[in-house]
């Protein structure tokens, strides 16, 4: 569904991505892991149209979409849950969701609102609360729900568990697993490498702007060298809350 080839993105003289190739098939959950500064956010932002690549190509269902605006990418079926969430703080939960559904029909929007209220019980309780008043966990759920409101064919998530309390980290990974079982297509970035590999089909390890390793999640999980050399030992993340190590 998503095919990225030879992608290079620069900030001035710095190449944050250097010839990255990666693919995500329909109904696949693909993980993207790697240390801080590896280029994970740059990759998602380039694919979503927030940054322009210097070289390379992005294809969505074989159609070249390289350098398209974020709005065009959304209409093409690609939604981003950005780093730092970027919600509209003064607008209510419901208003944020409606904006997320701006590209779909009114009928579909109202069906999707019902679906989000069911998927995220916490949001239903805070329907009329301004997003700025939400806790970190609630805000992250809203950011994910807002992306789903566009009825996307593929969702890109940038560190959805970052900064959340352990019980909410569990919720996020359970949600990824649930979206996977619904047959959704996801590309998920996480520092929490082990937890992501437990719910992903395949993954790529990014290091200093290049793909350092790739493969089925189960294979990557078994490779201690990856965690020691590429990702950093801390990526052997804490187990589920409530479980003993």
CB 181: neighbour CB atoms within 10 A?
10
Instruction: By CB under 6 A, tell whether 163 contacts ligand ADP.
Output: no
Q: x/- contact string, 107-136, with ligand ADP (CB under 6 A)?
A: ------------------------------
Contact between 27 and 184 (Cβ < 8 Å): yes
Please give the residues from 30 up to 89 whose contact with ligand ADP meets the rule CB under 6 A: 34, 36-42
Which is closer to ligand ADP, CB of 16 or CB of 199? 16
* From the list Mg ion, ligand ADP, none, partner contacted by residue 14 (C-beta under 5 to 8 A by kind): ligand ADP
E strand intervals along the chain: 2-11, 14-24, 29-33, 55-60, 63-64, 78-81, 154-158, 186-190, 202-207, 210-216
CB 213: neighbour CB atoms within 10 A?
19
Instruction: By CB under 5 A, tell whether 161 contacts Mg ion.
Output: no
Instruction: By CB under 5 A, tell whether 96 contacts Mg ion.
Output: no
CA distance 231 to 151: 33
CA distance 44 to 189: 8
Instruction: By CB under 6 A, tell whether 11 contacts ligand ADP.
Output: yes
CB of 179 to Mg ion, least distance (A): 21
CA distance 192 to 148: 22
> Tokens 């208003």 correspond to what residue?
95
Buried b (16+ CB within 10 A) or exposed e, 106-119: eeebeebbeebbeb
Stretch that binds ligand ADP, among 29-37, 93-101, 106-114, 126-134 (CB under 6 A): 29-37
Stretch that binds Mg ion, among 15-23, 37-45, 58-66, 114-122 (CB under 5 A): 37-45
CB of 85 to Mg ion, least distance (A): 13
Determine the size of the site formed for ligand ADP (CB under 6 A).
Answer: 11
CB of 206 to ligand ADP, least distance (A): 7
CB of 53 to Mg ion, least distance (A): 17
Of positions 1, 2, 7, 16, contacts ligand ADP by CB under 6 A: 16
Instruction: By CB under 5 A, tell whether 41 contacts Mg ion.
Output: yes
Please calculate the CA angle 156-160-166 and round it to the nearest 5 degrees: 155
CA proximity to 179, closest of 160, 206, 203: 160
Report the interface residues with ligand ADP, using CB under 6 A.
Answer: 11, 14, 16, 34, 36-42
Report the interface residues with Mg ion, using CB under 5 A.
Answer: 40-41
């Amino acid at each position: 569904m998503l095919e990225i080839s030879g992608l290079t993105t620069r900030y001035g003289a710095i190449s944050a991505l250097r010839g990255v190739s990666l693919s995500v098939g329909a109904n696949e959950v693909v993980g993207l892991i790697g240390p801080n500064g590896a280029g994970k956010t740059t990759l998602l932002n380039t694919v979503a149209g927030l940054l322009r690549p210097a070289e390379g190509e992005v294809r969505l269902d074989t159609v070249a979409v390289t350098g398209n605006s974020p709005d065009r990418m959304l209409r093409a079926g690609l939604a981003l849950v950005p780093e730092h969430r970027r919600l509209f703080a003064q607008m209510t939960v419901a208003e944020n969701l409606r904006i997320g559904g701006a590209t779909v029909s009114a009928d579909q929007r109202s069906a999707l609102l019902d679906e989000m209220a069911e998927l995220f019980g916490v949001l239903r309780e805070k329907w009329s609360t301004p997003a700025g008043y939400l806790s970190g966990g609630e805000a992250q759920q809203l950011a994910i729900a807002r992306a789903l409101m566009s009825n996307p064919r593929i969702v890109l998530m940038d560190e959805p568990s970052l900064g959340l309390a352990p019980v909410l980290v569990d919720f996020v990974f359970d949600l990824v697993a649930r979206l996977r079982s619904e047959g959704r297509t996801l590309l998920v970035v996480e520092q929490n490498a082990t937890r992501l590999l437990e719910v992903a089909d395949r993954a790529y390890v990014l290091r200093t702007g290049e793909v350092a390793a790739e493969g089925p999640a189960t294979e990557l999980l078994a490779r201690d060298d990856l965690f020691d050399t590429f990702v950093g030992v801390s990526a052997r993340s804490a187990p589920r809350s409530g479980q003993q190590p």
